[in-house]
Structure formats: structure tokens, C-alpha cells
Structure 1
Amino acid sequence: MTAAVQDTTIRIIADKAELEPESLTADTVLADLDIQSLELAEVIFDLEDEFDIDIELDTASAWERLKTVRDVIDAVAGLIAKGG
């Protein structure tokens, strides 16, 4: 995972959670941020646009698979490595 992917992902999540990016770490639990399904969907859309990738997750499976900021970062990095 590159620092750019991590920093951008944290910035996008922090923006939707209305927090400063510095307050988040890779181990931050998404549920602790009170991110609702609409905000999670917006995070996913923003990440797709930012990194030109396609994240194929419906909201229900996203909640099951993406528990921490690190989970989101790893998913994004994996998709980038596969070429989107």
C-alpha cells in the first residue's frame, strides 16, 4: 500500500465523517465514525473516481467486509494493483 493511497483514502473517509484526517488511523473502526450507509456509498464512489477503479460492493456486503479504515485502504490498493 502506498502512502498516497492511504492518505487519500483517509482524507475521503474523514471528509464524509466530518472529521480532520489527522484524527483517523488505519485501525480506526468505521462504525466508531458513525458513518451511515449513504456516507459509505459516497466514500466508495469518491474512491472509484479518485483512483479510477470499480469497487463492486453493495452496501450490505460493504458493511460486512469493510470494518476499519485499513480494510478500505487494502481493498483500494488491491484494485489498483489489479488495474482497476
Structure 2
Amino acid sequence: MTEVRDRIVQIIAEQAMLDPSELKLDMSPQEIGIDSLGLVESIFALEEEFDISVPFNANEPEKSEFDISSLGSIIAAVEKLVAEKA
């Protein structure tokens, strides 16, 4: 899953206009510099990249099954969706 993880980090870094090496797994989207619109765009990019459907409601993120609290949790959630699809 290293390839998946690297691609997720790359997509999030592109959204934040940062180098992937600047991102840490325990950073929240806010710490990375991604606002709510950027987060939605990132999720769309992840869905497109991996051909998955992310269970995330931007209007009610706290009710979402998709944990967006940190980069690590986003990676884990996307990896799970990709594995379920396989």
C-alpha cells in the first residue's frame, strides 16, 4: 500500500501547495493549510485517483464515517476503501 499512501500524500500536498516531505502523519488538514473547500477538492481528487466513493458529507463532517482529523487517518481511511474495492 506504499504506492497508495505516497499518492494520497502527493494529492494532499498539491492541494496545500507544499512539498510532500513537509507533511507529517499527525498533522490535521488545518495544520497542513487546507480549508474546508480544499478538503472537499482533495476528497474529490482522491475519489477520482483511486476510483472510490468517500463517505464524507462536507455539510456535516462530524457525522461522516470518513475520519479527516489527521493526514494519517485520511490515509488509513482511503487505504481501507481501496482494499474493499479490490
- TM-score normalized with structure 2 length: 0.85
Structure with higher RCO (Cα < 8 A, 6+ apart): 1
Aligned structure 1 segments of 4 or more residues deviating by more than 2 angstroms: 62-65
How many residues end up aligned between the 2 structures?
A: 83
Tell me the alpha carbon deviations over residues 4-63 of structure 1, each in whole angstroms, 9 at most, x when there is no partner.
111101000000111001111222222212211110001000000111100021113169
Identity among equivalent pairs (%): 34
Q: Which runs of 5+ in 1 are unaligned?
A: none
Distance in 1 of aligned mates of 2:30 and 2:52: 24
Aligned match of 1:73: 75
Task: Show the 5 A alignment for 1:28-67.
Answer: 28-59=27-58, 60-61=60-61, 65-67=67-69
Distance in 2 of aligned mates of 1:62 and 1:78: 19
| Partner-residue secondary structure (3-state), 1:45 | helix
Q: Does the 8 A contact of 2:15 with 2:42 survive in 1?
A: yes
